[in-house]
Structure 1
Amino acid sequence: MAQVTVPATDPAVYSQYQAKWSALPDTADAWLARAREVAEVLAQDAAQRDQENKSPRAEVALLKHSGLLKLLAPKKYGGGEQPWSVGYKVIREVAKADGSIGMLLGYHLLWSTTANVVGTPEQAERTQELIVANNYFVGGAVNPRDNDLKITSDGDYVVFNGSKHFNTGGVVSDLTVLEGVLEGTEGHIFALVPTRQTGIQFAHNWHNIGLRLTESGGVKIENVRVPWTDALGWDESSKKPREDILLIPFASLLLPTIQLVFSNFYLGIAIGALTFASEYTTASTRAWPFGGDNKESATDEFYILERYGNFFAHLRATEALADRAADQITALYSRYSGDRSALTVDERGEVAEWVASVKVVTTDVGLRVTSGIFEVTGARATALKVGLDRFWRDLRTHTLHDPVAYKNRELGRYVLLHEYPAQTWYT
């Protein structure tokens, strides 16, 4: 297949940060401070980069320089060994400045820890060492709405074939997570593979209204061979899933974990929108001279103060809910990573409902804030050079990932019937 060249941002523009951030942060507060530094860099030209819609190679390089890709990884391999509760806050901070890069970071943190959840202990250790030692960025071609990739066994290898309409960050990744079903079984196999190989062919067709720098377009997988030893959670001798790894509730924690990733970059985008709008209103919005209760400044107008106050209150409450859910899921990982089989269906279900609650609220509040800020910034704020529209476009794009109506229904059954959700690709 002919090499496709697509416009990309230049990693050299952020080269200075490789030396500036040569040491990893060593506390939770320091990691959050590093995330805010990254956000400050991204905020300088976020609107321009969004409009140029180039492949985000420079932005991924910035994440690598910052050390944020290593946030959750074990210290013994050079990682930060922070819990997911910190990871979610870091995603949120980056998304405040750039929703696309917050999303890429969130997906990387999920995919880079996949082996910890569905792999054997040996696979988890080997995978973590590989990712951290090379400072790899991990993308994923795991879109459950499409047909699963077809997997065949060929001696000591499994072979992946198929295609996905969406993959996230694949074009700019070093490793890609593949997932499919083994022929003749109902067993799903996850594996991390090098991205730069002829069997992985990207469509370069991500031209959507939002999250334009996430490279979330299609991908074709053609005869990608993976050693059986890299089939996460499977026994290489029997060619069967390990019951103590994959057939227990712990393995399904990947789903609420990534759903909470979504909610945190939604929340970051919404908070970023309010911050951006408030700065614009303070500097540029003019008071309305025909209201009958005229003010000298827009910041003295009742309806503007009321809207900003209401948006702020709802976002503050949403942030508290998101942090509470993060604490819940972090506690499960802390309690059961050493004994995965001890996690119960009910404990897993309870956390899933906390996560579903956050998904509902971040979607509702986020869309309301990112569209409502135009009412308090004024007509001139719709200029492309301002870039206020990117917050709504980013949030609107990803909140369609899986319909929030089903999360509301799921929570309704929990309230009325005391049912936990069935474990699916979206719960």
Structure 2
Amino acid sequence: MTTSQPSTAAHPDYPAHDSAHVIADDGEALTVAAGLAEAFRPGAAERDAQRRLPHAEIDQLSSSGLLAITVPRTHGGADVTAGTLAEVFRLLATADASIAQIPQSHFVFVNVLRAQGSAVQQDFFFREVLAGRRFGNAQAEAGTPHSQDIRTRLEPDGDGGYVLHGTKNYCTGALFAHWIPVLARGAGDKPHVAYVPHDAPGVTVIDDWDGMGQRTTASGTVRLKDVVVPADRVVPHHLTFEGPQLHGAYAQLLHAAIDSGAARAALTEAAEFVRTKSRPWFESGPATAAEDPLLIQRFGTLELQVRAAQALLETAALTVDAATADLTDDTAAEASIAVAAAKAYAAETAVDTASALFEVAGTRAALNGLNLHRHWRDARTHTLHDPVRWKVQHLGRYVLSGTRPPRHGLL
């Protein structure tokens, strides 16, 4: 592998080097995330209704320094805990679930570099991230027998580098990215990740996402035709899964955080609607809907679910952090199981709470112009990312027979 450093690709949205703030520690990361959530919340319904992509908001996210908070301290980053990162995602999702989902892959591919990147690759790409550069993703493919059947190929070009070709779908973050990490099969049919500039020749990013929810994630298609990739932009991702690993647990923890935040957002908006807009049912007696004892009971039940989802998320994050400090087969299994529990429960809670919004708020809440249904559409769409029924299967096997979960990127 050559030791030359990759060149920075030209991109119309690139911030200048050193333009991004550098966050110092976990506390600052949480403060910045809370502030951005407050800034993003007022425009969320309109962005969804008009499908206005959040370019300005994602630029704010970059310049705030939040995208660099997992860069190791040895490279100038805050190296925050998994617990802090999960809370950052949960906070962002309470404001806009689409915005929260967009950087999920960014952090996953920072982790790929931490796990398998060479010293030269880490030095270069961590500086890129600290400067506000964004990673997208090009992983999933459509039309194959199953999700792990990857057809995109990384082939030697005969000159020490590679040529990449294939088509990727559901590429959340790619439209907003400066670098697009591409999952491809290389030598021995083993998975590698190629970090490709957004505007590299042969790369086409298509905004063709038309999902009913998560409408502004721009999770469209990336086409790769004879894309030249220098050797120093390729990471041997297959090595990640040859021993105990947290790649899948870490990625799924962030999805659980998004679902947990989406549930809180739906319940918060439901409560505000009932307090300010709902009429009491004529048989209930009180002068306001918020005083209806049956509604009070229902909100209490929903609050229990949302709090439980957040508690499971926090527990899972602590387990991931513990495994990071002492990584073994057993600690990795505990982390994957804890995250599986958090993800399964948060997914159910997000969908149930977003649906219950209409039950407690009444007929008026269903008016299209209010766009309250975005909460359910977002929750239902995001929770389809991977089936929670398999997470429950792994939980059951772990409890009954001590069977460790398999090593893959979705658990």
The TM-score, its normalising length taken from structure 2, stands at 0.89
Report what 1:357 is aligned to: 341
Report what 1:237 is aligned to: none
1:194 aligns with 2:178: no
SS at match of 1:209: coil
Report what 1:139 is aligned to: 136
Q: 1:351 to 1:77 in 2, by over 3 A?
A: closer
Report what 1:308 is aligned to: 299
TM superposition shift of 1:211: 0.6
* Conservation of the 8 A alpha-carbon contact between 1:56 and 1:172: no
Report what 1:157 is aligned to: 161
1:181 aligns with 2:185: yes
Q: Quick one: distance in 2 between partners of 1:57 and 1:316?
A: 32
- Out of 216, 219, 241, the position equivalent to 1:216 is 219
Q: Quick one: distance in 1 between partners of 2:236 and 2:293?
A: 59
Q: Quick one: distance in 2 between partners of 1:48 and 1:199?
A: 35
SS at match of 2:189: coil
Q: 1:388 to 1:132 in 2, by over 3 A?
A: same
TM superposition shift of 1:75: 4.4
SS at match of 1:258: helix
- Out of 274, 278, 290, the position equivalent to 1:299 is 290
TM superposition shift of 1:78: 4.6
* Conservation of the 8 A alpha-carbon contact between 1:325 and 1:351: yes
SS at match of 1:160: strand
CA offsets 1:1-52 (integer angstroms, 9 cap, x no match): xxxxxxxxxx9xxx9xxxxx97544342332121111111111111000111
* Conservation of the 8 A alpha-carbon contact between 1:148 and 1:179: no
TM superposition shift of 1:199: 1.5
Q: Quick one: distance in 1 between partners of 2:395 and 2:20?
A: 45
Report what 1:287 is aligned to: 280
For 1:327, the aligned partner's letter is: L
TM superposition shift of 1:222: 1.1
* Conservation of the 8 A alpha-carbon contact between 2:319 and 2:334: no
1:172 aligns with 2:176: yes
TM superposition shift of 1:201: 1.0
TM superposition shift of 1:77: 4.7
Count residues with an aligned counterpart: 389
- Out of 204, 208, 213, the position equivalent to 1:205 is 208
SS at match of 1:180: strand
- Out of 407, 410, 419, the position equivalent to 2:403 is 419
Q: Quick one: distance in 1 between partners of 2:204 and 2:281?
A: 54
CA offsets 1:81-115 (integer angstroms, 9 cap, x no match): 21221111001101101000011132222223320
CA offsets 1:130-173 (integer angstroms, 9 cap, x no match): 2213x111100011626331111122112111111221110111
Report what 1:339 is aligned to: none
For 2:191, the aligned partner's letter is: H
TM superposition shift of 1:282: 0.9
Please list every run of 5 or more consecutive structure 2 residues that lacks an aligned counterpart in the other structure.
1-12, 142-146
Please list, as runs of the form range in 1=range in 2, the aligned pairs for 1:14-413 lying within 5 A after superposition. Answer: 23-75=21-73, 77-133=75-131, 135-143=132-140, 145=147, 147-154=150-157, 155-183=159-187, 185-233=188-236, 245-246=239-240, 248-250=242-244, 252-289=245-282, 291=283, 293-335=284-326, 343-413=327-397
What is the root-mean-square deviation of aligned Cα atoms in Å? Answer: 2.2
* Conservation of the 8 A alpha-carbon contact between 1:60 and 1:137: no
TM superposition shift of 1:300: 0.8
Report what 2:6 is aligned to: none
Q: 1:258 to 1:247 in 2, by over 3 A?
A: closer
Q: Quick one: distance in 2 between partners of 1:253 and 1:126?
A: 23
Percent identity reads 29
SS at match of 2:102: helix
* Conservation of the 8 A alpha-carbon contact between 1:157 and 1:227: yes
The TM-score, its normalising length taken from structure 1, stands at 0.86
TM superposition shift of 1:296: 0.5
TM superposition shift of 1:424: 2.7
